[in-house]
Amino acid sequence: MRKTVLSLAALVLGLAACSPNATPQPMGSPKPEPPKSDASAPDAGRPAPPAKKEEPPGPRKYPVSMSEEEWKSKLTPEQFAVCREKHTERAFGKGYEETEKQGKGRYACSACGQVLFDSGTKFHSGTGWPSFFSPANEKCVEKIRDLSYGMDRVEVVCSNCGSHLGHVFDDGPRPTGLRYCINAVSLKFDEAKKE
């Protein structure tokens, strides 16, 4: 037992000596006093300023902005759930089937009407959601890191109203190698005029 107590005491003393603030002192010496501050220093005698609290950025302001009640009255219940509450529509649903039949034209945001994708960039991905390899232009969509559901993805939203569109993945075809996997209810098709 005595060996155990002595071993523990040696261990504690050894760890204390390894402390970065440890200063060797002879046994029985008084404790050293903390260093005195320089009275000529510009902040001498003043309390330290409070640390700045980092505030997370607030919700981004979009050009088209409405209250949730206004969005509810403008959109169908399914569009509201997807575009405003970031839900995902069922794969291979009615909206997807309609997009598969559509010809040449442009796809706009179903919430605000901003053009998002062109039919020339649409491809059949087999996922059950409309897929595009690039947006109509780089400014019409915004990409946001999405860590929901334990996954690390990139969410795609309309840059005009902030409506959730879907996600972008790096498993698409050439030339971009990207797959914009978009909820059909977040899109409104505008067919190209026949000449």
Catalytic residue positions, numbered: 181
Backbone angles phi, psi at 28, to 5 degrees: 80, 0
Residue 136 to residue 153: CA distance in whole angstroms:
21
User: Where on the phi/psi map is residue 105: left (φ > 0), alpha (ψ -120 to 50), or beta?
Assistant: left
Return the closest-CA partner of residue 117 out of 85, 82, 158, 81.
158
The helix/strand/coil state of 112 is: coil
29 token code pair = 């010496």
Residue 71 to residue 111: CA distance in whole angstroms:
8
46 token code pair = 């003043």
Chain-centroid distance of CA 113 in Å reads 24
SS3 content of the chain, % helix, strand, coil (to 5): 25, 20, 55
The helix/strand/coil state of 170 is: coil
